[in-house]
Amino acid sequence: MFSKTLSLADAPVRYAWREYRRGQSAELLVRPWLADALDRPASDIGLARDGRGRPQLQVPGHPGLDANWSHSGDALLVALGDGVAVGVDIEWQRPRPQAMALAQRFFTAGEATALAKRAPDDAEAAFVQLWCAKEAVLKAHGHGLSFGLDRLEFAARDDGWALVACDPALGTPADWHLHAFAPLPGYLATVAWRQEE
């Protein structure tokens, strides 16, 4: 059963999460939620994949809808956008002894330096927050991680990470809206969206 559907103030995005077991079809789990969120029968909810594997939501009479989902550990997160491209990532906060090595290899030099300045426990949580933000943006963009985690840069702020630079293919940092949160104990997540082009 999904959590209560949440909306972000003045944003055309709704999202929810639920328990998930490895091996379950996330697509089969999100379809009923999408149907409920759109007040439509599940049979009206078409889900296809584009050439890169990104989900494409197809609902008769509702152009401009977008959906995305992510799962990690025992949790599944789904988001629905209206007139926006939406991407999500959820990550289980498990020990990540290789977090700094991954940051140095895949993140920007500035991000890796910012993480290295943190205490080890704080650095792992900050790494997960940053990973969620990057992956959510790249999924909304439609290319996923293969686009390159170093092609967008975040700076540490008191309230988390802020997008400060990105490859022109992503638009500008001002085009993007991000909502970082902890949906469940031991999990971090980000919902990212921008206006459809």
pLDDT for res 133: 98
CA 196 to chain centre: 16
Q: Quick check: is 57 in a domain?
A: yes
Is the pTM for the entire model greater than 0.85?
yes
Which CATH number goes with the domain that contains 176? 3.90.470.20
Considering the domain architecture, whether residues 33 and 77 belong to the same structural domain is answered as yes
Note the pLDDT tens digit of each residue in 72-123: 999 999 999 999 999 999 999 998 989 999 999 999 999 999 999 999 889 9
- Strands (DSSP E) found in the chain: 6-7, 13-19, 46-49, 55-58, 65-72, 75-82, 84-92, 152-157, 160-166, 177-181, 187-195
- Residues 171 and 122 occupy one common structural domain: yes
If asked whether residues 122 and 51 sit together in one domain, one would say: no
- Based on the fold, state whether residues 109 and 180 are members of the same structural domain: yes
Residue 23 lies inside a defined structural domain of this protein: yes
**Where in the sequence is the domain holding 36, given as residue range(s)?**
6-86
Interval 11-60: pLDDT, tens: 899 999 999 999 999 999 999 999 999 999 999 999 999 988 899 999 99
Q: Is residue 1 part of a domain?
A: no
Closest CA to 130 of 153, 98, 97: 153
- 30, 82: one domain: yes
Last residue of a domain, one of 86, 113, 130: 86
State how many domains the chain has: 2
Q: Indicate whether 53 and 23 sit together in one domain.
A: yes
Picking from 86, 112, 144, the residue at the C-terminal end of a domain is 86
